[in-house]
Amino acid sequence: MSESGITPIKNVSQQELGGMTPKQFVDLLRDNCSKPGRGMANHPFVTGLEAGTVTLPQLRLFTEQFYLHIRNMLPWIGEIYVKCPHEDVRTVLVKQLAEECLGTITNTKAHPELLLEFGGAIGMDIEATRKKEQLPQSRKVTEYFEFMSGCRPWFVPLSAIGIGLESFVPDTFTRVVAALKKNYGIKDDKLVFYTMHILADQDHGDEGIEMVSKYAVTPEARKQVYDCTVVTSELYFDLWNLYTTVGKA
Ligand SMILES: [Fe+2]
């Protein structure tokens, strides 16, 4: 590990990335995004919930800043829709946006609203939370999606979401749900944000491979996906790590 605690990114050339099969490429990327200091896989916040050492003020700050990020990044999904030249992919994006903004497919609610309902169960003031501002570690992730959506090909931010984040959700959120029930006494009806994502994100590992095999085919495209997905996972780690900035037990 480096001095900053992050395992240095495996240095693979653009040509090597271009020569890999889609599965080899996605496996390498997932491996890089699972290292300490990246993404949500085995994040200290998760192990802390499992140990019961994350305090309520910490859980509330995490929920507030995670909520603000997932709410504020939705317009950038819309930007990917505008940029994507493939009708079939755009159709999928519209469905995903409808689900994120309305809960249309799972017959639930807007995903940010579901997270706020969880916030209510841990004593947060829901209306006050809507008006909060993002702290730098949260804002940076949101703004990185703005950057990727505006300055990189449309499949780059989608790969960052699908490969770097969502493919880790089923395992991570399963652990989070178990820990929140066992150590914090949260009831099922307040955990819908987490439980619905466990099901919704189950297939995203395979979808990532499919997207890379169809669209990220040139060495240059592979390199853009590789670099941006790793950076996204590092910024995401920092967002989840915000809980350490407030009161410990
Ligand atoms: Fe969601």
Tens place of pLDDT per residue across the chain (249 aa): 444 556 666 678 899 999 999 999 999 999 999 999 999 999 999 999 999 999 999 999 999 999 999 999 999 999 999 999 999 999 989 998 999 999 998 999 999 999 999 999 999 999 999 999 999 999 999 999 999 999 999 999 999 999 999 889 999 999 999 999 999 999 999 999 999 999 877 766 567 778 888 899 999 999 999 999 999 999 999 999 999 999 865
Distance 249 CA to ligand 1 centre (A): 30
> 118, 63 in Cβ contact below 8 A?
yes
Distance 166 CA to ligand 1 centre (A): 9
Q: Which CATH number fits domain 14-245: 1.10.760.10, 1.20.910.10, 3.40.640.10, 1.20.1250.20?
A: 1.20.910.10
Distance 200 CA to ligand 1 centre (A): 8
- Single pTM value for the model: 0.93
- Name residues with Cβ closer than 5 Å to ligand 1, which is an ion: 111
Radius of gyration of the chain (CA): 18
Q: Which of 222, 174, 247, 239 is nearest to 44 (CA)?
A: 239
Structure tokens at 27: 């496996």
Number of residues that this document lists for the chain: 249
Domain extents in the chain: 14-245
